[in-house]
Amino acid sequence: MIKVNVIAVGRVKERYFADGIAEYSKRLSKFCDFSVTEVEEENYKKTDAKIIERIKQREGEKIIPLLKGTVFATAPEGKKLSSEDLARKIGALADAGRGVITFVIGGSYGLSEQVKNAADDKISFSDMTFPHTLFRLMLTEQLYRAFSILGGSAYHK
């Protein structure tokens, strides 16, 4: 069974997001070995461009050792994929025997260049900006949708 990891900066504090993520995680369990690893978010009282880069770098230093398998960084400059495209990517990796896929979600300021460069690919859901906790729910739902497409389910329609 393929293993899918999500590495995410920060904790989900809102119960409604946590409940949605838990529901899709449960649904994913019949398709893959799914896990979420949370990395502590860096917090500073005051920020400027230099501090923001330091925040991303420190968060990145926590993320890099956790990267396994084929890594997808979520970033605004990444490729925009349809649900079917994501399903095809996952299916192709599974068919090629790539047993581990990791998706990385940055914190409030995004991902460091180090993390983006360590990734095999960068993907984007939109040109819009989303709170990282909402995005974690969106990614989990899209992973479930991708596996449903691969399994021939009507869920994705």
pLDDT, tens digit, 9 for 90 and up, residues 84-135 = 999 999 999 999 998 999 999 999 899 999 999 999 999 999 988 888 899 9
Residue 66 in contact with residue 7, Cβ under 8 Å?
yes
Under 8 Å CB-to-CB from 120, ≥6 apart: which residues?
70, 71, 72
Instruction: Give the whole-number percent of the chain exceeding pLDDT 90.
Output: 86
Give the residue ranges of DSSP H helices in the chain.
Answer: 15-28, 49-63, 83-95, 113-118, 132-150
In order of start, what are the domains of the chain with their CATH numbers? 3-150 (3.40.1280.10)
Question: What is the rounded CA–CA span in Å between residue 121 and residue 63?
Answer: 16
Say if residue 2's pLDDT is above 90.
yes
pLDDT the model gives residue 45: 79
User: Whole-model pTM?
Assistant: 0.94
pLDDT the model gives residue 153: 83
pLDDT, tens digit, 9 for 90 and up, residues 22-63 = 999 999 999 999 999 999 999 887 888 999 999 999 999 999
pLDDT the model gives residue 56: 95
Question: What is the rounded CA–CA span in Å between residue 90 and residue 152?
Answer: 14
